[in-house]
Structure 1
């Protein structure tokens, strides 16, 4: 994901200046674990985006199983653009239902770097592959996807914070 460094710098400065409760609320939109969001907000200020992203990764690796469960409960299955064919919507709905039935949580995947026209095929192929995983293997992969999603959402948050007027966080970014 490529954005202007100045947008990151000014956005990071604003993010660092937000009151703790607002920063934590914005971070909960990046990862639905309260423990993760609290830790990330409490460790401000971050000197640069790379440090913020490294802290996000570290906090993600430290999530206890209950924290990951909480974060997954906040996730929605990725959706398609409204102009996608009805058959694609139905196929994804059925695949997500099968996944949730097998693993007990929403399917998560980071689609950063992929053109939207590739999303349907990528999600369907990933669900098919991941349905064959053992629960422990899938939980590990899901945790990695959550870390990747959090990174992309933080980049968006910090970029939008640099462009948003006023001292408050922007409207929550939701790539789903």
Structure 2
């Protein structure tokens, strides 16, 4: 577990990389860095959420682009190597999925991205592949504006979980 003192003493580039692994929004990372030194771990979580809530669509889309598609094992290994240890665990529910569920996720991901213009974002921790597929299918009828806000809220959950992992490593 890292103490707040250790986090505050990290070289800026190391802190920046750790924050980038938590959330792929450049503006979010910059604002988190500017707020150093942090008062406490609790302060980091409140700050993270407050900054996220003050950002907009471009920031959300940038953060979303830093995630592999749910069930896409190849992109998890290749493109997202820096966060694969977290994202892989977050998506571990996919590991036991049947081929039919994996195929349905792939088709659902494609339909979702075609409709909304960004990948399906869900806080996958603790969810089975079947649960994630049901969530994806339930969200497909949404309007884009509503779905963007839902995905942004899911990103906030993912960021909080990753911050927790970073602080407790």
Shorter chain as normaliser: what TM range? 0.7 to 0.9
Distance 1:90 1:41, change over 3 A: same
Distance 2:94 2:138 in 1: 23
Q: State the number of aligned residues.
A: 148
Cα shift at 1:11: 4.2
Partner of 2:68: 76
Distance 1:83 1:137 in 2: 31
Gaps of 5+ in 1: 1-6, 161-176
Correspondence for 1:66 among 58, 70, 95? 58
Q: Which structure ranks higher in relative contact order (CA pairs < 8 Å, sequence separation ≥ 6)?
A: 1
Cα shift at 1:20: 1.4
Correspondence for 2:23 among 14, 17, 31? 31
- Tell me if 1:142 matches 2:134: no
Cα shift at 1:63: 1.1
Which whole-Å deviations, capped at 9, do the CAs of 1:131-168 have from their partners, x for residues lacking one?
110011101111111111100010011111xxxxxxxx
Gaps of 5+ in 2: 72-92
Q: Secondary structure at the match of 1:50?
A: helix
Greater share of residues in helix: 2
Cα shift at 1:64: 2.1
The TM-score normalised by the length of structure 1 is 0.78
Distance 1:20 1:63 in 2: 22
Partner of 1:99: 112
Distance 1:140 1:26, change over 3 A: same
Matches within 5 A, 1:110-149: 110-112=123-125, 114=126, 118-149=127-158
